[in-house]
Amino acid sequence: MLPNTSRPGDGRLTHELDPQDQGPQDACGVFGVFAPGEDVSKLTFFGMYALQHRGQESAGVAVSNGERIMVFKDMGLVSQVFDEGTLNSLKGHLAIGHTRYSTTGASTWENAQPTFRSGPRGGLALAHNGNLTNTDELEAWLARRPGSTEVPHKKSMDSTNDTSLVTAMLATVDAPLEEAAREVMPLLKGAFCLVMMNEQTLVAARDPQGIRPLVLGRLEQGWVVASETAALDIVGATLVREVEPGEMVTIDAAGLRAERFAEARPKGCIFEYVYLARPDTVIAGRRIHNVRVKVGKILADECPAEADLVIPVPESGTPAAIGYAAQSGIPFGMGLVKNSYVGRTFIQPSDTMRKMGIRLKLNPLRDVIKGKRLVVVDDSIVRGNTQRQLVKMLREAGAAEVHVRISSPPVEWPCFYGIDFATRAELVAPGLSTEEICRAIGADSLGYISLDGLVRATHVPKDDLCRACFDGVYPVQVPTAQARELGLSENQEKS
Ligand code: SF4
């Protein structure tokens, strides 16, 4: 048998596909700008527009004119929440923005960001990408603060709750924002890229592991911070550098100051390379598209197939399919058309439409695939339902054989750092071998890239990457209750 590759049988998955059942979802994109003389609300709008893939449930902007902070946020896509009139009314020289994907059940207006609080020194707005893992400790800290009358309602693992908690913590410190952040940042554990502001100052901070990306850019008349470089490109900012893990950057009328609040212990999320980040984004000096093409080449070496055509599952499987085709010598073609606009509507499909499952999102090009032995390249398998429907659809469209190739290793563990995969019980990989998953999705063969192969494609040292969803080695303490549930040693910090 080929390494990491399996051949078929007649296994079946038990869950039906929910058309809203997406792949892994990121928990947000953040953007901040300090640029006197520029239309910062519009810059923030376009920055968030470029980060829309990181969260599609709500969007918001906080803007300051130096004296007053205004916040506007609502449910929906960036283009649904903001119009020209709204943006024109949000005047100032300093702004932050946020696009949000919520975990189940928390998709409400109240949970949209940026959050806002009044503190002893004025207003404070904050936006967060990631997930904190020590909210118990932080709530205890907040409860001990002099004059603190309130502890936010605790909902474990809800990222918005984390954000409200940090906002409340900062608001209890009677000091300039920079000093308040200096006091609070070292207390936070987990994944966090934060952008925060008062009336005069923008502060950005990244957790000591640098799990989620955050970059600093230069405008002619100011500075930008953003989750991804693609957001710098769209507003015409030049990439200066990444905000370092454990670093805090403060920008105000006096200029930019950078300082460390913790020693850097890099553990960048490897899944950003697989799926989360935009292909045109650059992380650790490498364009994501190029890394994904390289992943496809390694995948072709590790999991070859006898086939006539390589097709991607658009769009996230496309670069790896290009790489697979180049390395294997099998022609590349587009065999599936994606309806890009189905993604996250707020309209629940009818039962009839629900039965259409994957056809709401993907439609096969029959003329291209009829009679062909296909290699189908996708980025990941989470629950397995999507791939099962996909294989069935391709066979119905006339494919002679369907060989599924996956540009990430099996997802075996949940993520506690801001990505909503599923619970461990919902993941297909922990309970089944590759061969069994192949049978379950009905493919002729199935192959995953190895973890070492994926790491090699990133050019980042393995020890500097979080790979926990693949190998279960969590680089930052997992909340006690969840650690127990998964049978991890309590308060583990494995590396
Ligand atoms: S567990 Fe996976 S998705 Fe989560 S931060 Fe680590 S590598 Fe990324």
And the tokens for 371? 């009679």
Ligand 1 atom nearest 413 alpha carbon: 1
| CB of 276 shorter than 6 A to ligand 1 | no
Angle at 18 between CA 27 and CA 293, to 5 degrees: 55
Tell whether 467 is covered by a domain: yes
Domain extent for 340: 5-23+289-485
Query: CATH no. for residue 333?
Result: 3.40.50.2020
- Name the residue at shortest CA distance from atom 8 of ligand 1: 269
264 and 310 in a single domain? The answer is: no
Centroid of ligand 1 to alpha carbon of 421 (angstroms): 10
- Looking at the fold, whether 92 and 218 belong to one and the same domain comes out as yes
Q: Kindly state whether residues 73 and 218 are assigned to the same domain.
A: yes
Q: Clarify whether residues 188 and 260 are in a common domain.
A: yes
Is the CB of residue 45 less than 8 Å from the CB of residue 375? no
pLDDT at 101: 79
- Cβ of 468 closer than 6 Å to ligand 1, yes or no, is yes
Q: Is 421 within the bounds of a domain?
A: yes
What is the per-residue pLDDT for 466?
98
- Judge whether 354 lies within some domain: yes
Q: Are residues 377 and 430 in the same domain?
A: yes
- Regarding whether 412 and 354 lie in a shared domain, the answer is yes
For residue 270 and ligand 1, the question of a CB distance below 6 A is answered with yes
Residue 280 placed within a domain: no
179 domain residue, yes or no = yes
pLDDT, position 151: 52
User: Which residues lie closer than 8 Å to 254 by C-beta, 6 or more apart?
Assistant: none
Distance of CA 197 to the CA centre of its chain: 23
| pLDDT in the model for residue 359 | 80
Residues 196, 313, single domain; the answer is no
| pLDDT tens-digit profile, the chain (495 residues) | 233 444 433 333 333 334 334 556 666 999 999 999 999 999 999 999 999 999 888 999 999 999 999 999 999 899 999 999 999 999 999 999 999 876 433 567 777 899 999 988 999 999 999 999 999 999 999 999 886 665 554 443 344 578 899 999 999 999 999 999 999 999 999 999 999 999 999 999 999 999 999 999 999 999 999 999 999 999 999 999 999 999 999 999 999 999 999 999 999 999 999 999 999 999 999 999 999 999 999 999 999 999 999 999 998 899 999 999 999 999 999 999 988 766 555 555 566 666 667 788 899 999 999 999 999 999 999 989 889 999 999 999 999 999 999 999 999 999 999 888 768 888 999 989 999 999 999 999 999 999 999 999 999 999 999 999 999 999 998 877 777 777 775 445 443
**Does residue 283 sit within a domain?**
no
Residue 9 located in a structural domain = yes
Residue 172 and residue 309 in one domain? no
Looking at the structure, tell me whether residues 16 and 55 fall in a common domain: no
CA separation for the pair 92, 78 (Å, rounded): 19
Pairwise CA distance, residues 312 & 36, whole Å = 45
Q: Which atom of ligand 1 is nearest to the CA of 465?
A: 7
Q: Say yes or no: 202 and 85 in one domain.
A: yes
Q: Could you give the residue numbers annotated as active site?
A: 28
User: Which residue, judged by its Cα, is nearest atom 4 of ligand 1?
Assistant: 415
Of 271, 298, 317, which residue sits at a domain end? 271
* 296 three-class SS: helix
What is the Å distance from ligand 1's center to 125 Cα? 27
Cα-Cα-Cα-Cα torsion 378, 381, 382, 388, nearest 10 degrees, comes to 100
CATH number at 63 reads 3.60.20.10
Same domain, 457 and 352: yes
Q: Are residues 221 and 99 in the same domain?
A: yes
**pLDDT for 355:** 62
- 279 located within any domain: no
Ligand 1, atom 2, residue with closest C-alpha: 469
In the chain, the number of structural domains is 2
Q: If DSSP codes are grouped into helix, strand and coil, which group holds residue 133? A: coil
